[in-house]
Homo-oligomer: A and B are copies of this chain.
Amino acid sequence: MTGLAPLLDPGAAAGADERLSPRSAARRLLGRPELGAVVGAVAVFVFFAVAADPFLHWSSFGTVLYASSTIGIMAVPVALLMIGGEFDLSAGVMVTSSALISSMFSYQMTADTWVGVGVSLLVTLAFGAFNGIMLVRTKLPSFIITLGTFLMLTGLNLGLTKLISGTVATKSIGDMEGFPAARDVFASHWTIGSVDLQVTIAWWLGLVAVATWVLLRTRAGNWIFAAGGNAEAARAVGVPVARTKVGLYMAVAFCAWISGQHLLFSFDVVQSGEGVGNEFLYIIAAVIGGCLMTGGYGSAIGSAVGAFIFGMTSKGIVYAQWNPDWFKFFLGAMLLLATLLNAWVRRRAEATA
């Protein structure tokens, strides 16, 4: 080390570098991906606070948070997956599958609901592993693979439910053993003052925290960024890209399991046809939150902000009591504006930082 030190450029040791313009802490903050999205979220919040009277009630806040959390729980792993460079179109129906399996297993086997919950976890993780292994084995685009699983799960949900229950919905398991305990875990809520806070909010925040930790502070996180940013290069320096991707699909499956159990234990009965199309809400939340569609960039917190923007917008339009025929129009316009604002803020921050 010492032998080489004199070769160092003299300017190097000095802290400040003349090649850098000074940059304030506030500006640094604005440069972060997720904090760009926060500006969008604040704008949407202020907008609806003005445009919709009931939006500012505490009880509405609980509703908006709940709506955001149901999307947000899935948006977290979907964001990780997108950072890892892949898609999962089966995420939406997998939630329903997970709920159906849990419910039907418990009912048909007359087992304790916890047994059903456990079986559902295993099967759902197997779905995730199937997605991942197919992807890395066949090297087909994830769009195709998960589209296949999406269609197959949709068919399975309906076909099996009708085969077993005779209708498109499951039988009630509300009177079975273990149901109340499982409901406490997956579908309870606390009332604080006039606000009704669902347990999904806690799940959501917990998942965001864990995912952020994993992304930024663990080897797995490093590998996720690398797998999405440049899979070939990552493989060349020894990153287990295939294993990372399979893991990501299983993370999606795990969160689908949580969401599915919430669905089951809050409504007791599961409709087999639901969940189709929700995969796009998750992707939307992740993209609004700053994830790149092409992989290699994004954050879990961003996905949470994205889910929150989506939740606020979709419920805010209802609170504002605008003409429901135009609901989608307003939703599209608001999302576009929020993302534009976010991008604009970020670009400003970068240019002048």
Chain A contacts to B: CB under 8 angstroms: 138-141, 143-145, 147-156, 158-159, 162-163, 277, 280, 283-284, 287-288, 292-294, 323, 325-333, 335-336, 339-340, 343
Q: Are the C-beta atoms of B328 and A154 separated by less than 8 Å?
A: yes
User: Contacts A327-B155, A328-B151, A335-B151 given: A343-B288 contact, CB under 8 Å?
Assistant: no
Cβ–Cβ contact B336 & A154, under 8 A = no
Please classify the interface of chain A as helix (H, G, I), strand (E, B), loop, or mixed, using the class held by over half of its residues: helix
* Chain B residues with CB under 8 A of A280: 147
Assuming A138-B343, A139-B343, A325-B162, is B144 touching A332 (CB within 8 A)?
no
* Known pairs A152-B333, A154-B332 / 20 extra A-B pairs, C-beta < 8 Å: A140-B339, A140-B340, A141-B287, A143-B287, A143-B293, A144-B288, A147-B280, A147-B284, A147-B332, A151-B329, A151-B331, A151-B332, A152-B329, A153-B332, A155-B329, A156-B329, A158-B325, A159-B329, A277-B277, A294-B294
Chain B residues with CB under 8 Å of A283's CB are: 143
A333 cross-chain contacts in B, Cβ below 8 A: 148, 151-152
Measured between beta carbons, the chain B residues less than 8 angstroms from A152 are 328-329, 332-333, 336
Bound complex: CA A294 to CA B294 (Å):
7
- B residues near A329, Cβ cutoff 8 Å: 151-152, 154-156, 159
In the bound assembly, the distance between CA atoms of A343 and B284 in angstroms comes to: 30
Chain B residues with CB under 8 Å of A149's CB are: 332
**Bound-state Cα–Cα, A143 to B298, Å:** 15
| Residue in chain B with minimal CB distance to A152 | B332
- Which B residue's beta carbon lies closest to that of A347? B139
Closest to A137 in B: B340
- A237 CB, min distance to chain B CBs, angstroms: 22
CB distance from A131 to the nearest CB of B (A): 11
Compute how far the CA of A341 lies from the CA of B325 in the bound complex, rounded to whole angstroms.
45
Instruction: Report A119 CB to chain B, min CB distance, Å.
Output: 21
The reply to whether B141 and A335 contact each other, CB–CB distance below 8 Å, is no
Whether A336 and B293, one on each chain, are in contact in the complex, defined by CB atoms closer than 8 angstroms, is: no
Complex: how many Å from CA A72 to CA B130? 30
Across-interface contacts of A277 in B (CB, < 8 A): 277
Beyond A139-B343, A293-B143, A327-B155, whether A332 also contacts B150 by CB under 8 A is yes
